[in-house]
Chain A
Amino acid sequence: MAEDNLCIALNQVGKFVDTPDGKLDILNNISLDVKYQEAVVIKGASGSGKTTLLGLMAGLDQASSGDVFLFGENLARRNEEQRASVRAGRVGFVFQSFHLVQGANALQNVMLPLELSGIDNAPQLAIESLRQVGLEKKVNTLVEHLSGGEQQRVAIARAFAIKPQVLFADEPTGNLDAGTGRQIADLMFHLRDQSGTTLVLVTHESELLERGDRQILIESGRLL
Chain B
Amino acid sequence: MKLRRATIHSYWLMFVATVITVAIVTSSQLITDRIGLLLDRQASELLAADMVVISGREFDAEYREVAKQHGLRVSSSVSMRTAIFIDDNPRLVELKAVDNAYPLRGRLERALGVTGERTYASGIPASGEVWVGSKLAELVGQSFSLGEASFDARWLLTFEPDRGGAIFNLAPRVLMNLEDLPATGLVVPGSRVRHRMMFAGELSDINRFKIWLTINLKAGEEIQDLENARPEMRRALERTRKFFALAIVLTLVIAMAAIAITARYTANREAPKVAMLRAFGISQRSLFRYYLRQLGGLWVAATIAGIALGWVTQFPLQWALDGWFGKSLPQVYSLKPFLSATLVGFLALAGFSLPYLVNATATPPMQVLRTAVNRRSWLRGLLISGSAIVAVFVVLVLLMQSSMLAVATLALVLVCAFVLPLVLGWMIRLLLFSSQRRFWLRQYLLSRLQAVSRGAIYVMSGFSLVLIAILLIAVVKDELLGSWHEQLPQDIPNYFLINIRSDDIDAVGAYMQQHRIESSKPYALARARLTQINSVDIGAIDFVDPRAEHLVKHTFNMTHARELPDDNEIVAGEWLDADSPRAQVSVEQGMAERLELEIGDQLTLTVGSKTLRAPVTSIRSVLWENFKPNFYLITNPELLADMPQTGLMSAYIEDRSRLDLKRLLKRFPSITLLDISEIMARVRAIVDKASVALQFFFIFALVSAMIVLLAAIQTGRQEREIESSLLRALSAHTSQLYRVHVLEFTLMGGLIGFFSASFATLAGWVISVYFFNIEFHFSLAVWAYGMLSSCLVLTIAGTLVSRRVYNVSPMKILRS
Give min CB distance, B312 to chain A, whole Å.
37
Pairwise interchain contact A51-B815, C-beta atoms closer than 8 A:
yes
Main secondary structure of the interface of A (DSSP, over half): helix
A212 within 8 A of B: no
Give min CB distance, B662 to chain A, whole Å.
81
Give min CB distance, B106 to chain A, whole Å.
66
B217 within 8 A of A: no
* A60-B729, A80-B728 known; A111-B440 Cβ under 8 A: yes
A130 within 8 A of B: no
Give the contacting residue for B444; candidates A58, A81, A104, A117; CB below 8 A: A104
Give the contacting residue for B448; candidates A60, A91, A103; CB below 8 A: A103
Binds B, one of A6-14, A63-71, A92-100: A92-100
Binds A, one of B112-120, B508-516, B805-813: B805-813
**CA of A117 to CA of B451, assembled, Å:** 24
A115 within 8 A of B: yes
- List residues of B (450-505) whose CB comes within 8 Å of A's CBs: 450-454
Give the contacting residue for A93; candidates B722, B729, B734, B807; CB below 8 A: B729
**CA of A116 to CA of B451, assembled, Å:** 20
Pairwise interchain contact B439-A122, C-beta atoms closer than 8 A:
yes
**CA of A12 to CA of B624, assembled, Å:** 90
Closest A-chain residue to B809, C-beta based?
A61
Give min CB distance, A82 to chain B, whole Å.
10
Pairwise interchain contact A89-B438, C-beta atoms closer than 8 A:
no
- List residues of A (150-171) whose CB comes within 8 Å of B's CBs: 170
Give min CB distance, B445 to chain A, whole Å.
10
* A88-B731, A113-B731, A116-B731 known; A80-B809 Cβ under 8 A: yes
A204 within 8 A of B: no
B454: chain A residues at CB < 8 Å are: 102-103
Give min CB distance, B410 to chain A, whole Å.
32
B736 within 8 A of A: yes
Q: Of residues B437, B449, B736, B814, which shows the largest number of chain A Cβ atoms within 10 Å of its Cβ?
A: B814
A84 within 8 A of B: yes
Pairwise interchain contact B447-A102, C-beta atoms closer than 8 A:
yes
Pairwise interchain contact A102-B730, C-beta atoms closer than 8 A:
no
Give the contacting residue for A60; candidates B443, B809, B816; CB below 8 A: B809
B726 within 8 A of A: yes
Give the contacting residue for B730; candidates A52, A103, A113; CB below 8 A: A113
Pairwise interchain contact B722-A112, C-beta atoms closer than 8 A:
no
Pairwise interchain contact A84-B439, C-beta atoms closer than 8 A:
no
- Contact bitstring A119-134, B, C-beta under 8 A = 1, else 0: 0001100000000000
Give min CB distance, B577 to chain A, whole Å.
69
Give min CB distance, B555 to chain A, whole Å.
73
Pairwise interchain contact B440-A115, C-beta atoms closer than 8 A:
yes
Pairwise interchain contact B813-A144, C-beta atoms closer than 8 A:
no
**CA of A55 to CA of B813, assembled, Å:** 10
- List residues of A (184-199) whose CB comes within 8 Å of B's CBs: none
Give min CB distance, B705 to chain A, whole Å.
27
Give the contacting residue for A111; candidates B439, B450, B807; CB below 8 A: B439
**CA of A170 to CA of B815, assembled, Å:** 10
Pairwise interchain contact B816-A97, C-beta atoms closer than 8 A:
yes
**CA of A198 to CA of B227, assembled, Å:** 87
Give the contacting residue for A84; candidates B452, B722, B731, B814; CB below 8 A: B731
A80: chain B residues at CB < 8 Å are: 728, 734, 807, 809-810
Pairwise interchain contact B734-A104, C-beta atoms closer than 8 A:
no
B732 within 8 A of A: yes
Give min CB distance, B685 to chain A, whole Å.
56
- List residues of B (771-816) whose CB comes within 8 Å of A's CBs: 807, 809-811, 813-816
B727 within 8 A of A: yes
Give min CB distance, A182 to chain B, whole Å.
19
A108 within 8 A of B: yes
- List residues of A (13-65) whose CB comes within 8 Å of B's CBs: 51-52, 54-55, 58, 60-61
**CA of A123 to CA of B448, assembled, Å:** 20
Cross-chain pair count, CB within 8 angstroms: 100
A108: chain B residues at CB < 8 Å are: 439, 443-444, 447
**CA of A60 to CA of B811, assembled, Å:** 6
Closest B-chain residue to A61, C-beta based?
B811
Q: Of residues A52, A89, A102, which shows the largest number of chain B Cβ atoms within 10 Å of its Cβ?
A: A102
Give min CB distance, B304 to chain A, whole Å.
33
**CA of A12 to CA of B810, assembled, Å:** 23
Give the contacting residue for B440; candidates A81, A87, A95, A116; CB below 8 A: A116
Give the contacting residue for A51; candidates B437, B723, B814; CB below 8 A: B814
B733 within 8 A of A: yes
A116: chain B residues at CB < 8 Å are: 440, 727, 730-732, 736
B814: chain A residues at CB < 8 Å are: 51, 54-55, 60, 95, 170
**CA of A111 to CA of B440, assembled, Å:** 8
**CA of A61 to CA of B809, assembled, Å:** 7
* A116-B727, A116-B736 known; A101-B453 Cβ under 8 A: no
**CA of A101 to CA of B464, assembled, Å:** 25
Give min CB distance, A214 to chain B, whole Å.
21
**CA of A101 to CA of B448, assembled, Å:** 8
**CA of A191 to CA of B108, assembled, Å:** 98
**CA of A170 to CA of B807, assembled, Å:** 22
- List residues of B (701-747) whose CB comes within 8 Å of A's CBs: 722-723, 726-734, 736
* A87-B731, A95-B814 known; A115-B439 Cβ under 8 A: yes
Give min CB distance, B502 to chain A, whole Å.
82
**CA of A193 to CA of B759, assembled, Å:** 59
Give the contacting residue for B447; candidates A60, A61, A101, A113; CB below 8 A: A101
Pairwise interchain contact A99-B813, C-beta atoms closer than 8 A:
yes
**CA of A54 to CA of B810, assembled, Å:** 12
Closest A-chain residue to B723, C-beta based?
A101
A107: chain B residues at CB < 8 Å are: 439
* A103-B450, A104-B439 known; A112-B730 Cβ under 8 A: yes
**CA of A95 to CA of B812, assembled, Å:** 12
Closest A-chain residue to B729, C-beta based?
A93
Give min CB distance, B722 to chain A, whole Å.
7
Give min CB distance, A142 to chain B, whole Å.
9
A88: chain B residues at CB < 8 Å are: 731
Give the contacting residue for B731; candidates A97, A117, A122; CB below 8 A: A117
A85: chain B residues at CB < 8 Å are: 731, 733
Closest B-chain residue to A79, C-beta based?
B734
B728: chain A residues at CB < 8 Å are: 60, 80, 84
* A88-B731, A103-B450, A104-B439 known; A60-B444 Cβ under 8 A: no
Pairwise interchain contact A102-B451, C-beta atoms closer than 8 A:
yes
**CA of A150 to CA of B447, assembled, Å:** 19
Give the contacting residue for B438; candidates A93, A117, A122; CB below 8 A: A122
Pairwise interchain contact A101-B444, C-beta atoms closer than 8 A:
yes
Give min CB distance, A147 to chain B, whole Å.
13
A93: chain B residues at CB < 8 Å are: 729-730, 813
A84: chain B residues at CB < 8 Å are: 728, 731-733
Give min CB distance, B750 to chain A, whole Å.
18
**CA of A182 to CA of B595, assembled, Å:** 88
**CA of A80 to CA of B733, assembled, Å:** 9
**CA of A104 to CA of B811, assembled, Å:** 23
**CA of A107 to CA of B443, assembled, Å:** 12
A61: chain B residues at CB < 8 Å are: 809-811
Closest B-chain residue to A54, C-beta based?
B814
**CA of A89 to CA of B444, assembled, Å:** 19
Pairwise interchain contact A112-B815, C-beta atoms closer than 8 A:
no
Give min CB distance, A31 to chain B, whole Å.
21
A112: chain B residues at CB < 8 Å are: 439-440, 444, 730
B450: chain A residues at CB < 8 Å are: 103
Given contacts A60-B809, A84-B731, 16 further A-B contacts (CB under 8 A): A52-B811, A55-B814, A60-B814, A80-B728, A85-B733, A93-B729, A95-B814, A101-B451, A102-B452, A103-B450, A103-B454, A104-B444, A104-B447, A108-B447, A116-B736, A170-B814
Q: Which 9 A-B pairs have the closest CB atoms?
A: A103-B451, A115-B440, A103-B447, A88-B731, A102-B451, A104-B447, A60-B810, A108-B439, A103-B450
Q: List 5 A-B contacts (CB under 8 A).
A: A80-B728, A80-B734, A85-B731, A112-B444, A123-B437
